[in-house]
Amino acid sequence: MDVYEVTNAQYRKFMDATGHEAPWLWDRFRYWDDFRYDAPEQPVVGVTWDDTVAYCQWAGKRLPTETEWEKAARGGLVEKEYPWGDSITHDNANYTGVGGRDRWRSPAPVGSFPPNRYGLYDMSGNVWEWCSDWHDMGHSANSPKQNPKEPSTGTRRMACGGAYGMEAHILRCVSRYRPKPTIESPGIGFRCAMQK
């Protein structure tokens, strides 16, 4: 799993190399043109699921599965609410409001908060992170606990981690968002995983 979420600077290199379009906000306005989202060290947002897959393929990587993402977020802590334990403050993550280390009302520069025990930054808060899985309501109940297989079809994809502007309880390791893969949200970004 990559240590950081993919940044605007990294995504720009991908766009320059491939001719891929910049993420759009509405029909005429690009996230790249909005001071809240355009800093090079901020996580790229407004990317669709297909955009993230294209970036990962270009980088020789892939999106993590939901199960891989949660295991990485926990950082070896078992049955804890957040990557660092059972409580949360603005010293831990970027979420609704400001205080402590959290000075942002939009995505923070990656790595602005302490890493989890695996050395991964921003596993809770900042931006939701796309995962490779399709969402299937009944799939989890029928899957084995060890190495569950992800659904092969669906209409929505999975995203994990919560985002800036969200309430603290949404940032728990088990929280999920099930957006349509075509959504271009200012609260969704991604990080890559190594090829299997």
Among 2.30.110.10, 1.10.10.10, 3.20.20.70, 3.90.1580.10, what is the CATH number of 1-136+153-196? 3.90.1580.10
pLDDT tens, residue by residue, 99-123:
999 999 999 999 999 999 999 999 9
Cα–Cα distance for residue pair 52/75, rounded to 1 Å: 24
CA atoms within 13 A on the CB side of 166: 25
CA-closest candidate to residue 191, choices 46, 75, 43, 16: 43
Domain ranges for the chain, please list them: 1-136+153-196
In the chain, the amino acid numbered 66 is E
pTM of the prediction?
A: 0.89
pLDDT tens, residue by residue, 150-164:
556 678 899 999 999
Residue 19: pLDDT over 80: yes
